[in-house]
Amino acid sequence: MFPTKTAARQHFLGARANRPVEDLLPAARVLPAVQNAQRVALYVSRTPEPPTGALIDWLLADGHEVLLPILYADNDLGWGVAPGAADLVPGRLGMSEPRIDLGSFAISTADLIICPAVAVARDGVRLGRGGGSYDRALTRATAGTPIWAAVYDSEVVDTLPADPHDHLVQAALTPGGLVPVG
């Protein structure tokens, strides 16, 4: 369908710019994997990504611990505990980040990882923005930890271009629900 990752990114990011925003919280909070996870690695979304703010707030209010990424100068990711959206600080590339960095291996302590994506293929290929940050970070996840990518329903597709270093995901979390892939 897409000859290159660049073409796929352009297609999906262009479509996102013209779509209404749909929240992930209604779909996520009813899922047993979310309810049972003590520590969830998540991210603070930016427009036009599917919003994660309400999900982060709900997880914190429900007693879960939330790890949020900290973008390093080399595009690798460290992780910090979410204190609440008001206590985040500006990070690189406009990201909102926790003040305290627990290091790049903190992701290995997560019971569930929900990462950003531009699209997800039914075979588990996750298309990110192209920096490789999450592909590196996901190699540090503990074996067996569920890894989901947050996308809109229309961004779950049959196939996407992939490279050997791409880290696969097990599901796409969409406003419409959880779509198993892989």
pLDDT at 95: 79
Q: Which two tokens stand for residue 12?
A: 């999906």
The annotation places the binding site at 44, 49, 126-134
pLDDT at 103: 96
* Domain membership flag for residue 181: no
The annotation places the binding site for ATP at 126-134
* Domain membership flag for residue 152: yes
The annotation places the binding site for substrate at 44, 49
pLDDT at 160: 98
pLDDT by 10-residue block (mean), the chain, 182 residues:
94 93 93 96 93 94 96 95 73 82 97 98 96 95 97 98 95 97 93
* Domain membership flag for residue 182: no
**What predicted TM-score, i.e. pTM, was given to this entire model?**
0.94
* Segments forming the whole domain that contains residue 41: 5-176
* Domain membership flag for residue 83: yes
pLDDT at 130: 87
Phi then psi dihedrals of residue 85, to 5 deg: -60, -35
